[in-house]
């Protein structure tokens, strides 16, 4: 594995951003936070990239902030504040990106690692998953939008239990709550995430972007306002060359073969 703390790889239309501090379970110090944010932005801005995949090297997606690094500082509150600032910029990029973002979660996502996974558009995980709020165990209140995303996915009461008691969410509950959309064996995570990303990448970029925008926007939108937005997006998509090409392919499949 490379000595870089973040690895960015283009695999066809899919850009992988890999957190690469496996010896500390990809704990975020300021260097990793800054470089991961930079790699994320480069992937989103890359005209060849259709889908971004986030993952961690080794045996964890990320355990969140590097508490040993924070504890060794002469000003821990300052370090926590700087990490949270970068985290919030990253979450904003993920949510506002016109390109879908997939979190490929290997075993453990805790603290900001969990927040980043929850903020992603699709979450794929290995078996023996653990999602851990973690912040409250050291008297912190969470960052990265975790207190916004967790109750929307798990419900208010369960979110409060998870946060206040620092309870793990394991794979069965994560699947039941719809937090994780697909579980795969550990040795198939990269392959399966790439396959799903390529299926999404095959969509016209405007289509994927509009679907993402409308689904997120629907939560705070009146139905009539949303219907107007859907109509505009649909007619816009129907006027593209990609639609004409995909429609022809579909019709050809149903045409009688001579």
pLDDT tens-place string over residues 110-137: 999 999 999 999 999 999 999 999 999 9
Residue 47 pLDDT more than 70?
Answer: yes
Alpha carbon of 189 to those of 36, 107, 126, 130: distances in Å?
20, 10, 7, 15
Note the pLDDT of residue 257: 66
| Segment 197-219, tens digit of pLDDT | 999 999 999 999 999 999 999 88
Average per-residue pLDDT for the chain: 94
DSSP letter at 256 equals P
Pair of tokens at residue 141: 């209140």
* 6-201 CATH: 3.90.226.10
Note the pLDDT of residue 193: 97
Note the pLDDT of residue 1: 52
User: Rounded CA gap, 39 and 44, in Å?
Assistant: 9
Note the pLDDT of residue 99: 97
Residue 3 pLDDT more than 90?
Answer: no
Alpha carbon of 216 to those of 50, 97, 147, 157: distances in Å?
19, 12, 17, 22
Task: For the chain, give the percent of residues with pLDDT over 90.
Answer: 81
Helix axes 205-218, 223-238, angle to 10 degrees: 180
C-alpha distance across the termini of the chain, in Å: 54
Which residues, 6 or more positions from 17, have their beta carbon under 8 angstroms from its beta carbon? 6, 7, 8, 36, 39, 40, 43, 52, 53, 54, 55
**Confidence (pTM):** 0.92
DSSP letter at 97 equals -
User: Rounded CA gap, 242 and 217, in Å?
Assistant: 25
């Amino acid at each position: 594995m490379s000595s870089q703390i973040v690895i960015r790889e283009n695999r066809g239309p899919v850009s992988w951003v890999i957190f690469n501090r496996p010896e500390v379970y990809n704990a975020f110090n300021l260097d990793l936070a800054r470089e991961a944010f930079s790699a994320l932005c480069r992937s989103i801005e890359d005209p060849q990239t259709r889908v971004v995949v986030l993952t961690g090297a080794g045996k964890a997606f990320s355990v969140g902030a590097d508490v040993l690094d924070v504890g060794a500082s002469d000003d821990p509150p300052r370090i926590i504040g700087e990490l949270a600032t970068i985290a919030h910029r990253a979450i904003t990029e993920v949510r506002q990106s016109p390109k879908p973002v997939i979190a490929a979660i290997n075993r453990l996502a805790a603290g900001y690692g969990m927040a980043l996974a929850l903020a992603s558009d699709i979450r794929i995980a290995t078996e023996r998953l653990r999602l851990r709020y973690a912040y409250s165990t050291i008297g912190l209140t969470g960052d990265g939008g975790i207190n916004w995303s967790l109750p929307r996915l798990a419900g208010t009461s369960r979110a409060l239990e998870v946060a206040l008691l620092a309870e793990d969410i394991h794979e069965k509950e994560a699947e039941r709550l719809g937090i994780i959309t697909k579980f795969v064996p550990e040795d198939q995570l990269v392959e399966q995430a790439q396959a799903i990303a390529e299926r999404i990448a095959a969509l016209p970029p405007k289509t994927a972007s509009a679907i993402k925008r409308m689904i997120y926007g629907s939560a705070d939108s009146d139905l009539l306002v949303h219907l107007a937005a859907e109509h505009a997006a649909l007619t816009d998509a129907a006027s593209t060359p990609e639609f004409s090409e995909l429609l022809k392919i579909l019709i050809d499949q149903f045409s009688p073969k001579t």
